Structure 1
Amino acid sequence: MLTKALIVDDEDDIGLMVSRILIKEGVEAEYVNRIAKAREKVVSEDYQVYLLDLNLPDGTGFDLIPLIRAKTSEARIIIISAHDGSYEMRKMKEEKIDTFIKKPFTKKQVIEAIQGLEV
């Protein structure tokens, strides 16, 4: 069962909304809005799932993946982004991303993505 998640998104309303959804599903959730802060969290905390936006002011969610994978190969990664072009789709496949949620999204899509990781 998933118990702890890190959400990385520069849109506070989205980060806070996803946090609330996860908490209601019994997942401890933390939210940051910059890659630099996310790097600190990845190094200092243990998360089972990461929800990453691709377009952030100080980088891209893809920038965090090597650090996440170096810490634990067991981590599950969900990309939440409006960017779904051929480059992004190819990169997600290369990085073995577990799930992609396209913005705008619904509460149901977030819950289904998290539940799909627990199978």
Structure 2
Amino acid sequence: MKQLETSVRKKISKALIVDDEIDICYLLEGILKKKSVWSTYVNTLSDAQIMLRKETPSIIFLDNHLPDGLGVEFIDHIKKYYPSTKVVIITAVDSSSDRKMAYEHGADYFISKPFNMEIIYNVVEKLK
């Protein structure tokens, strides 16, 4: 039973946070650390591409509105080259069209800002 619990825990052991708001990056990093999920963050899609070439995370928390493009359009790249990586869109702009577009591109989850620790914990648990 312990082996099963360990393997489930390891499923989401690394996260990449892609958000241009440093406060959001720090907040998510702290929340994930409490769930024993190692994380790192970048602030642009181009930096996310570089980071993904170095290490493939289990989950990506991806802001939709970034300085160099839309996160929902980057999902296609993630799903093509890193198909086992889960993608969670996090955005302050929560419209039904944004949600629909995110899921059409392959997002695994969609979270509106502001969010709290409980929401992040639930998402991590659901995506295991």
TM-score by length of 1: 0.92
What aligned pairs does 1:27-106 form with structure 2 within 5 A after superposition?
27-106=37-116
Cα deviation digits, residues 68-91 of structure 1 (max 9, x gap): 112221111101111122321221
Structure 1 runs of 4+ with >3 Å offset: none
Q: Post-superposition shift, 1:42?
A: 1.6
Please tell me whether residue 24 in structure 1 is matched to residue 46 in structure 2. Answer: no
SS at match of 1:80: strand
For residues 84-105 of structure 1, the C-alpha deviation after alignment (integer angstroms, 9 at most, x for no partner) is 2232122122123111111011
Aligned identity (percent) is 35
Q: Distance in 2 between matches of 1:48 and 1:71?
A: 13
Question: What is the RMSD computed on CA atoms of the aligned residues?
Answer: 1.2
**Paired residue total:** 118
Are residues 54 and 78 of structure 1, via their aligned partners in 2, closer, same or farther at CA, if it must alter by over 3 Å? Answer: same
Which of the numbers 100, 110, 117 marks the counterpart of 2:120?
110
Q: Which has the higher helix share?
A: 2
Contact in 2 for aligned 1:6/1:47 (Cα 8 Å): yes
Q: Which runs of 5+ in 2 are unaligned?
A: 1-10
Larger CA Rg, structure 1 vs 2: 2
Give the whole-Å Cα distance in 1 for the aligned partners of 2:103 and 2:77: 18
Equivalent-residue separation in structure 1 for 2:33 and 2:81 (angstroms): 24
Question: Structure 1 residues 106-115 or 67-76, which shifts more?
Answer: 67-76
Residue 3 (structure 2) aligns with: none
For residues 62 and 40 of structure 1, what CA distance do their matches in structure 2 show?
Answer: 18
